[in-house]
A and B are shown apart, each in its own frame.
Chain A
Amino acid sequence: MMPLLTTKGLSRNFGGLRAVDGVDFELMPGEIRAVIGPNGAGKTTFVSLVSGRIQPSSGMIIFDGADITSEPAYIRVRQGIAYTFQITSVFANLSAYDNVALPVQRTLSDGRSKGAVRAGVMSALERTGLADRADMPAGQLSYGHQRLLEVAMGLALKPRLLILDEPTQGLADSEIDNFIELVREIAKNATVLLIEHNMPVVMQLADRITVFNAGRILAEGTPEAIRENAAVQEAYLGTAP
């Protein structure tokens, strides 16, 4: 099977700092992959390179067999790479409905029918449990609901690769359980790349885990293998008692 996403020697420098340093990465279609690592390991920079928000200093990004290294972000979104922001950045002054309508209306090939936008928006809002809050300004939603709205916007893009950057940050425990269910359901139709600090969430969701440290991939494998990996324990989880 051909990987959905491949990076070769992907690097990005910020001044003297090599935030991402020669990363070779492969992601298979249909996978839920978690990316973990200590703060400053380069996880967010890595997915920002993949989504096109920042340009790499060197290296190559291949999505679905095509070299997308020099494509601008909006083209990558159209090709199926959706990115949900680590820091919630919904359109605070627009209603939840309008927030989701923006991605929905763009993905509709038939740009005319009003019903199709409404149906697409409501379906994304229902999947994230926000349907009854459609008319509220996004800025007035609770923090947890804003995170969900962010996911709904990602879903509405009908992505083939959905990048979730610390989606459970700031969520209550009860919200996290629903969230895990939601990601499982999303993964039926899309590949998920998940940056996450919450280890129980990672262990429950991920098919495979990639561990970043100091801009490089330290280890990669199944949750069990990563749990047992001594180097990972040392770098990230701390030495076992």
Chain B
Amino acid sequence: MSEASPAKAYALHLGVIALLFVLSFLLPDYYHGLLARIMVLAVFAMGYNMLFGYVGLLSLGHAMFFAAGLYGAGLAVIHLGWSVPLAFLGGIACGAVLALAIGLLALRTTGVAFMIVTMMFAQVFYLLILYFATWTGGDQGMVVPQPARVLAFGSTSLDLTNPTVRYMTALALFSLVLLVTLAIVRSRYGRVLVAIRENEERTKMLGYDTFSNKLAAVVISGTICAASGAAYALLFGYVGSSFASVQYSILPLLWVLLGGAATTLGPLIGTLFMYYVIDITSGYTSAYLLIVGIALILLVLFFPKGILGSIRQRWLGWLP
């Protein structure tokens, strides 16, 4: 937040991106695919963190923004035969419009009421997907056919089902969103968002229209989550209603809490950590969720601000 050490912060973020790039050539196939998926979901977590971490608004309905991107892009390819870039943008637009509408309604409430209202809207969205099963595939979901998942540039084309292309596309989206969130939280607008989180009444008395600022944050957050959903549909080829269920509203909250709310890299760390704990423990026992739960409890006990949040508090105050 302070004006100090911008160079350090940007160097760290570019370093993380470079590391992820190099990992593409080092990881075995299985982890290569897993990391591509984690990067896309980390974008979802970053979008969630924008609203939860920086503005302090706890939504329990962000699955609807992810699903808006997922279905917006997926159904555009399946039913309308849109090209990949167009469908991707279409998915993002669905999320942005939905976030604007939900924001206008839900921001009339605060605190617990905001959590409940967002959760109810997400539930409505989920049930609508099931209701319009003719187009959405209902609870079976739909597969985005492989031939449609190709990026064409004139004569050359990139097949998004190719693991390396998929990994690099995921990395490109992740890097873009990471740098955009870094720029936003370091900007004057970011400072206003944190001020709203800390004391909304005081922020109003400094002449800020806090409603508009919060609404903009909901739209930015929803748009980023939709970008993640759209990328998921196009890269992994599956559009399913489980992604709109309440579980996918809670997951980004957990990822962000684990990694560290209001840290730019926390969402990646949280998503990575959760996936790997599940991956490793499920290899040993079918009761892996028990171990995941214990790990979560330990983290909350010893790192109440999440992994990166605690590191920032104890050692690296300059972390954005």
Taking beta carbons and an 8 Å cutoff, which residues of A are in contact with B? 51, 53, 72-74, 77-78, 82-83, 85, 89-95, 97-98, 101-103, 105-107, 111, 114, 117-118, 135, 153, 157
Q: Which listed residue (B2, B198, B209, B210) contacts A135, Cβ 8 A?
A: B2
CA distance A89 to B202 in the complex (A): 7
Q: Known contacts A91-B202, A94-B198, A102-B192; decide if A78 and B207 are in contact (CB<8 Å).
A: yes
Query: Are B206's CB and A101's CB within 8 A?
Result: no
CA distance A27 to B209 in the complex (A): 27
> Interface size on B (CB < 8 Å)?
21
15 pairs, A vs B, C-beta closer than 8 Å: A53-B201, A53-B205, A74-B210, A78-B207, A83-B205, A91-B194, A93-B198, A95-B2, A101-B191, A102-B208, A106-B207, A107-B207, A135-B4, A153-B206, A157-B206
Proximity string of chain B (1-14) to chain A, C-beta cutoff 8 Å, 1 when within and 0 when not: 11110000000000
Query: Are A73's CB and B192's CB within 8 A?
Result: no
Taking beta carbons and an 8 Å cutoff, which residues of B are in contact with A? 1-4, 188, 191-192, 194-195, 198-199, 201-210
9 closest residue pairs by CB, A with B: A77-B207, A91-B198, A105-B188, A103-B206, A78-B207, A89-B202, A74-B204, A74-B209, A74-B207
Query: Are B205's CB and A73's CB within 8 A?
Result: yes
Q: Which residues of B contact A82 (CB under 8 A)?
A: 205
Query: Are B205's CB and A106's CB within 8 A?
Result: no
Query: Are A97's CB and B206's CB within 8 A?
Result: no
Closest chain B CB from A77 CB (angstroms): 4
Specify the chain B residue showing the minimal Cβ separation from A111. Answer: B188
CA distance A102 to B191 in the complex (A): 7
CA distance A94 to B198 in the complex (A): 9
Closest chain A CB from B1 CB (angstroms): 6
Interface centre among A73, A83, A90 (most CB of B within 10 A): A73
Query: Are A91's CB and B199's CB within 8 A?
Result: yes
Q: Which residues of B contact A103 (CB under 8 A)?
A: 206-207
Specify the chain B residue showing the minimal Cβ separation from A79. Answer: B207
CA distance A97 to B3 in the complex (A): 9
Interface centre among B194, B195, B207 (most CB of A within 10 A): B207
Q: Which residues of A contact B206 (CB under 8 A)?
A: 77, 102-103, 106, 153, 157
CA distance A204 to B251 in the complex (A): 61
- Apart from A74-B208, A102-B191, A106-B208, list 13 A-B contacts with CB within 8 A: A51-B205, A53-B205, A72-B204, A73-B204, A77-B206, A89-B201, A91-B195, A91-B199, A105-B188, A114-B3, A117-B188, A118-B3, A153-B206
Q: Which residues of A contact B4 (CB under 8 A)?
A: 135
Q: Which residues of B contact A89 (CB under 8 A)?
A: 199, 201-202
CA distance A107 to B207 in the complex (A): 9
Q: Which residues of A contact B201 (CB under 8 A)?
A: 53, 89
Specify the chain B residue showing the minimal Cβ separation from A153. Answer: B206
Closest chain A CB from B319 CB (angstroms): 15
Q: Which residues of B contact A153 (CB under 8 A)?
A: 206
CA distance A237 to B151 in the complex (A): 83
Query: Are B207's CB and A94's CB within 8 A?
Result: no
Closest chain B CB from A184 CB (angstroms): 24
Q: Which residues of B contact A77 (CB under 8 A)?
A: 204-207
Interface centre among B195, B205, B208 (most CB of A within 10 A): B205
